[in-house]
Amino acid sequence: MKVGFIGLGIMGKPMVKNLLKAGYEVTVYDIIKENVALMVQAGADEKKSAREVAGLSDIIITMLPNSPQVKEVVMGKDGVLEGAREGSILVDMSSIAPLVSQEVHRACAAKGVKMIDAPVSGGEPKAVDGSLSIMVGGEKEVFNEVYDLLMVMGGSAVHCGKIGAGNTTKLANQVIVALNIAAVSEAFMLSTKAGVDPMKVFDAIKGGLAGSTVMNAKVPMITSGNFKPGFKIDLHIKDLNNALDTGHGVGAPLPLTASVMEMLQTLHADGCGQEDHSAIVKYYEKIAETCIRMGKEEE
C-alpha cells in the first residue's frame, strides 16, 4: 500500500517515521523543504506538489495547521483532488472546523475519492512513540479500510460518527485540555501563594480524583520552566476559535472556553504564542506577580 503524507510539522514528521518503520512506502510533500529533507533521509520519497503525492498514493494523509490550509491543499491548484485516483482515500488528520471537513468531503465525493476526518490528541511525545489518540468521522467502511494504518500512528482509533464527528470530538478534547491546564495553573498558584511547595501538592494529589494525563504531562514543564512546544499556544487558540464558532452554530454554551481563550490571547500578545500551552501558567504569574517555577525569580 502506497501512502502519501502532506504536512511535515511537529506532528507530521514522527508520524511519517512510524509509517516508514512499519514498512509502508511513503511519499511526502511540504512547503518547508528542510522538513521534507529530513523525511527523505528517513526513507520517504519526495514530490513537488500535493497533486503529485496524491497521484501516486492509495491513501493520502494530510496533517495541516487549520481549515484554510486543508481546503487549499485538497481543493486548490495542484492539490490532492487534481491528482487523486478514483477510489483512493483521503485521511485528514488536521484539527479543523467540522463544517470544513464536511465541505472537503463533498468535494472529494464529487471526484470519487473517499474521505475521513481523523484528528489526533497526544502532542509530539505520543506522535513519536506512536500512541496518539485518533478520533474519526466518516463512513464506517472507510474507517475499517484504514484502521490498521491508523494504529501504526496511534494507540487508539475510535469511529465517532459521520464526517466531521472526528473534529467535533477533537474540539471537545481541546476544550478539556485547555481548561485542565488553566485549572492546574490556578491551583498551583494558590498553593504557591499559600507557601506550599507545588511539587508536594502534585505528588499528593496526582493519584486522586484531581489527577489527569494533562497534569502529569504539564506540571513538570511548568515547575521547570520548560515551555518547548509539544503543542503551541497559537495552535490551541486556533482550536478554541473553532470550538467557539461551532458552539455558537449549534447553540452550545462555552463560557469557560471563552475565558481560557482570553488567557491564550493575552499570552499571544505577550509574545508566547509559539510556546507550549503549559505556558498558560504565565498568565497567572503575571497577574499574581508571583512565579511558581522552581529555581526562577519572580517575573
Q: Do domains 2-163 and 168-288 have the same CATH topology?
A: no
Q: Is the pLDDT of residue 212 over 60?
A: yes
CB 54 within 8 A of CB 29: no
Residue of higher predicted confidence among 292 and 27: 27
Give pairs for 43-46: CB < 8 Å, separation 24+.
44/5, 44/16, 44/20
E strands, the chain, are 2-6, 25-29, 45-46, 59-62, 89-92, 114-117, 120-121, 132-137, 154-161
Break the chain into its structural domains and give their ranges.
Answer: 2-163, 168-288
* CATH number at 2-163: 3.40.50.720
Q: Which of 47, 114, 170, 218 is catalytic?
A: 170
Identify any residues that bridge with 156 across adjacent strands, giving them in sequence order: 133
Query: CA 73, 26, 228 angle in degrees (round to 5)?
Result: 70
Catalytic-residue membership of 170: yes
User: What tens digit of pLDDT does each residue of 75-106 get?
Assistant: 999 999 999 999 999 999 999 999 999 999 99
The per-residue pLDDT for 294 is 55
pLDDT bucket at 123, cuts 50 / 70 / 90: confident
Q: Report CA torsion sign: 26, 31, 35, 40.
A: positive
Q: What is the pTM of this model?
A: 0.90
The CATH homologous superfamily to which domain 168-288 belongs is N-(1-d-carboxylethyl)-l-norvaline Dehydrogenase; domain 2 (1.10.1040.10)
Which backbone phi and psi does 9 adopt, to 5 degrees?
-85, -155
How many CB atoms within 10 Å of residue 177?
Answer: 22
- Mean model confidence pLDDT for the chain: 95
User: What tens digit of pLDDT does each residue of 234-292 get?
Assistant: 999 999 999 999 999 999 999 999 999 999 999 999 999 999 999 999 999 999 999 98
